[in-house]
Structure 1
């Protein structure tokens, strides 16, 4: 294993995650969904992935995605918690 790879692995393990509260808003319908996540840096990607797959657990959010697409939804941070 190269030194660069070891350094990259060590940096990944030492990274700080920031928990917080987020909101997904649908501009067309005015609906909003609020949630919390242990890592605000990665939650939007996780939500968008499940919506693209058609497998998000929140049926109303999935319906808004199906009706309006990615362009119709906005992601925002409400509050960062901790570190």
Structure 2
């Protein structure tokens, strides 16, 4: 029981890291790119997909078709937090995600993300 308490305490003390992740289909190479303010919660995405409740319909459909073992969760980049009272983590994470979406273009045959029509006007 002491070991269990120790592990729980370690988990609580682990710094929460924000960043960009992808879910990659190893069968067809398609990817889903997103951000999280707490990358420790990626297991929640896996749970969501296993429960059939993901809002990403195409990703959910292919998860159901190929199975969990066909997908790999990968962290692409951790957000470097600035030690400034003016640092806006949410905004910085959004910009970082936009950068990765621009770089990887996970749309159509390449991925599961939906292209934002406003993004092409920037």
Specify the TM-score bucket, using the shorter chain as the normaliser. 0.7 to 0.9
C-alpha deviation, 1:28, in angstroms: 1.1
User: TM-score, normalized by length of structure 2?
Assistant: 0.55
Q: Which has the higher strand share?
A: 1
Look up the SS of the partner of 2:34 in the other structure.
Answer: strand
Distance (Å, rounded) in 1 between the aligned partners of 2:25 and 2:34: 15
Alignment of 1:17-56 (within 5 A): 17-43=16-42, 45-56=43-54
Distance (Å, rounded) in 2 between the aligned partners of 1:63 and 1:18: 29
Say if 2:77 is the partner of 1:79: yes
For structure 1, list consecutive stretches of 5 or more residues without a partner in the other structure. none
For structure 2, list consecutive stretches of 5 or more residues without a partner in the other structure. 82-122
Higher RCO (CA < 8 A, seq sep 6+) = 1
Aligned length: 74
User: TM-score, normalized by length of structure 1?
Assistant: 0.78
Deviation beyond 4 Å, 4+ runs, structure 1: none
Distance (Å, rounded) in 1 between the aligned partners of 2:67 and 2:48: 13
